[in-house]
Chains A and B, each alone.
Chain A
Amino acid sequence: EDQVTQSPEALRLQEGESSSLNCSYTVSGLRGLFWYRQDPGKGPEFLFTLYSAGEEKEKERLKATLTKKESFLHITAPKPEDSATYLCAVQAGANNLFFGTGTRLTVIP
């Protein structure tokens, strides 16, 4: 059965304090792993796609990496505007994404 587990559930960081979010997955035949950001009351916003182990993607203060069993979202020197819930998803079939429950990040000024 496909499974996506994100940790921690919640994370509080001081502004400038770097950290990592974890997404471990079990899926038969990974077709892609995706990271999204979701602000309260909004729909998710696409951040990254990773397809194979060893792949890395970067955008501003965020870097996503992928191994055969997990993905990390590294946040370098975060700012308060990085506060959001970060969702990890795997492509489980031809047409759908299977999401984790997210990590709620709070960056304190």
Chain B
Amino acid sequence: ETGVTQSPTHLIKTRGQQVTLRCSSQSGHNTVSWYQQALGQGPQFIFQYYREEENGRGNFPPRFSGLQFPNYSSELNVNALELDDSALYLCASRTGTGRNTGELFFGEGSRLTVL
């Protein structure tokens, strides 16, 4: 069983640039969510995708956008990067049905530094 994989693991960008982060969900999981984790903080929910549609969004501006593909992999795009966007970006997957919707399988994250 393949777990959640994310790429790249680390990247450095400058303010104003755009970034795309990628995630392959765990085998059999059709729901993907993205979280932002600043240093010393807990993860914050960005949005969730189910069957290629966004079906939940946290308190993040529209310059944070995403996609989910037919194979359930996903992308997170951030435009017009700001210094405060520096964080660990976590992708998590789960099955889309059942009661246990909080039992997420996380990848190891993409560490973004904005200079």
Contacts and interface: CB of A to CB of B under 8 A. Distances in A.
Interface string A66-109: 00000000000000000000010101011111111110000000
A98 B56 contact: no
Nearest to A47: B103
Interface in A39-79: 41-46, 49, 51
Contact of B102 (A4, A41, A45, A97): A97
A32 B101 CA distance: 9
> Interface of chain B, helix or strand or loop or mixed?
loop
Contacts of B71: none
A43 B45 contact: no
Contacts of A91: 101-102
B35 to A, nearest CB: 8
A43 B106 contact: yes
Given A91-B102, A96-B45, A43 B56 contact: no
Contacts of A98: 45
A25 interface: no
> Interface of chain A, helix or strand or loop or mixed?
loop
**Looking at A34, A42, A96, A100, which has the most chain B CB atoms within 10 Å of its CB?**
A96
Interface size, A (range): 20 to 34
Given A43-B4, A97-B45, A100-B42, A89 B109 contact: no
A34 B102 contact: yes
Contact of A101 (B40, B100, B105, B109): B40
Contacts of A43: 4, 90, 92, 106-109
Interface of A: 4, 31-32, 34, 41-46, 49, 51, 87, 89, 91, 93-102
Interface of B: 4, 33, 35, 40-45, 48, 55-56, 58, 90, 92, 99-109
